[in-house]
Structures are given as C-alpha cells and as structure tokens.
Amino acid sequence: MTILKLDHVAIVVEDLAAAQQFYHDHLGLSVSRVERLDDQEVTIAFMPAGESQVELLEPTNDTSGVAKYLQKRGPGIHHICLEVDDIGAALADLKVKGAQLIHEVPVTASDGTRFAFIHPKSAFGVLLELYERPETGKRNGGLLAAVRAGLEAFRKAL
C-alpha cells in the first residue's frame, strides 16, 4: 500500500453558505461543486486547495450520523481522507495489523471512487477515510496485467 496524497479534509458545519463564505472571503478558496448525497444524508461543498480539497459537510436531516456528530460535538473536522494506490491491499494490510475498520470491504461511490473508513479508536481519535480513485485502480490493473504478461513471457523463455 502506498499513500498518494492527502485527498481531503471534511469539516461538518451547521450552515453551508456561511462556511463557504468564510473559506472564500478569508482564504480565497472557491467552491468547484456542491452535491447533495442522499445516501449519506449530507450536502457537500467541494473546495479545491492545491492538490487536496476542503469538503464542507452539512447534514440534510437531524437523524443521520453526521447530524448526530454535529449535535454532540459542534462544527469541526469530521474526517480526513488519504488517497491510496490499492484500497483492497490497504484494508487487508490494516486488518492484519489489527486496525479497527468500519468498512472491511470498500464501498463504491457513484463516480467509481472506492472508499472505506478506519475507526477513530485505531487512528488516535481521527476518523480516517481511504480513497482509491477509478483512474488509479485502472492504472494498477494495467500495471498488473503488464507484470503478468512479463512473467508469462519470462516463463516461456525458460
């Protein structure tokens, strides 16, 4: 497993418009898109920050996990997300090493990104998310195919 970058930091807020305005007016970050994810019961404003992003999350109801987190702790960092080259290998490795996983099998989002969460109990109080981007998965698949083809050619040459 290789960590490719810090993909995003997700911040839970009560008022998405006010939070966007702060990040825009004080830090110069612009919103690239706003998306309502009904399955995750949040509206997300994506704000690119160099190679990474700040994601502002506003719960869409009072009963979701994110809403309860907000009620209990107030606004703040909800999770951080690391992009990995191979999420299957990463989860298998973490499991062997005894990390407490929320998802033992990656979940596939609508855009093809595969993600999984690691429990804050294992990550020193931080909810950690892992991402594998679809482009990266394909690249790994291509690389694996190339390695297999190379091995096959080597075996035949013996």
- Chain residues binding Zn ion by CB under 5 A are 10, 81, 129
Q: Which two tokens stand for residue 149?
A: 């083809």
In the complex with Zn ion, the residue whose CB is nearer, 66 or 81, is 81
- CB 62 → Zn ion: shortest distance, Å? 21
In the complex with Zn ion, the residue whose CB is nearer, 83 or 129, is 129
- CB 81 → Zn ion: shortest distance, Å? 4
- CB 7 → Zn ion: shortest distance, Å? 8
What is the spatial distance between Cα 78 and Cα 158, in angstroms, rounded to a whole number? 55
Grouping H, G, I as helix, E, B as strand and the rest as coil, residue 25 is: helix
In the complex with Zn ion, the residue whose CB is nearer, 10 or 94, is 10
Place of tokens 């007016």: 25
Q: Which two tokens stand for residue 102?
A: 């929320």
CA atoms lying within 13 Å on the CB side of residue 103: 16
